[in-house]
Amino acid sequence: MFGLFKKYKKSTASFGSLITDVHSHILPGIDDGAQDIDDSINLAKRYVSLGFKKVIATPHVMADYFKNTPEKILKSLDVLRNALLKENITLEVEAAAEYYLDETFTKLIENKQILTFGDNYVLFELSYINMPKNLDETINSLLDAGYKPVLAHPERYNYFHAGIENYQRIKEMGCELQLNTISLTGYYGKHVRKAAEELVEERLISFLGSDMHHLKHADALNDAVSLPIMLNLVNSTFIKNQFI
């Protein structure tokens, strides 16, 4: 409760060498992230203060909860871009999506109605409870369709924690892995932090993302930037954010 009123102290470290955050819920009013344009502007200011130059907005696309279409997402992107221009905030924003692996995602792949970022990358997430039986099939479908799959926050899926080989197998299939930066702070718990650290040590991560939904995440991101493991990670040769 009291943390809500705590002033954040800007770190002297920066995410500037990453340039781009590839996972963000900054678009106003279309998922469980920024609820209105004021929320979006506040998040944008925090991104700038942390050294980011560019953000890939990745709103949820989920059959039963967030029925976002490319048209709806791009319309929200225009609203945000105009607001940033009006507020004189220098932050480049592009839009893709975070697709939930469900029957809708399968159809979107078949019809090639997917929003991508960078070099045709597609960000997707899984159930936190059970590993989907069609994960391998979905990765192969994305690859066959010419997309480059990126699994969002793999460290948060407890069913993968049994062994690092679970992540290695996915990577070997041709699916990149995107780590939530704040996982390294223990934000989601010690088991998630341990998995995140192992993924970094094994160099299995290709992208870093904030998964920013609200200012509490921004505070955690501010805590993460000065971690020793993060200082090494943002300057590593295997992280691809700066090329997006």
Choice between 1 and 200, residue whose per-residue pLDDT is larger: 200
Q: What is the pLDDT of residues 96-126, one digit of tens each?
A: 999 999 999 999 999 999 999 999 999 999 9
- What domain count does the chain have? 1
Assigned domain for 170 exists: yes
* CA pair distance 26, 95, nearest whole angstrom: 10
Amino acid at 231: L
Q: What is the pLDDT of residues 37-63, one digit of tens each?
A: 999 999 999 999 999 999 999 999 998
User: Residue 131 sits in which domain range?
Assistant: 15-243
- With a CB cutoff of 8 Å and minimum separation 6, the contacts of 39 are 28, 33, 214
Check which CATH number belongs to the domain holding 65 and give it.
Answer: 3.20.20.140
Asked if 19 and 242 count as a contact pair (C-beta separation under 8 A), the reply is yes
Q: Is the pLDDT of residue 6 over 50?
A: no
What Cα–Cα distance (Å) separates residue 149 from each residue in 99, 181, 240? 11, 19, 14
Assigned domain for 173 exists: yes
* CA pair distance 244, 238, nearest whole angstrom: 13
Assigned domain for 5 exists: no
Assigned domain for 2 exists: no
Q: What is the pLDDT of residues 119-141, one digit of tens each?
A: 999 999 999 999 999 999 999 99
Assigned domain for 3 exists: no
CA quadruple 213, 217, 221, 227: dihedral, nearest 10: -140
Q: Is the pLDDT of residue 23 over 70?
A: yes
CB-based burial label for 107 (10 Å; 0-12, 13-18, 19+): exposed
Q: 30-55 as b/e, with b when 16 or more CB fall inside 10 Å?
A: bbebbeebebbbebbbbbeebbbbbb
Q: Is the pLDDT of residue 206 over 80?
A: yes
First to last CA, the chain: 37
Least confident window among 5-19, 33-47, 63-77, 171-185: 5-19
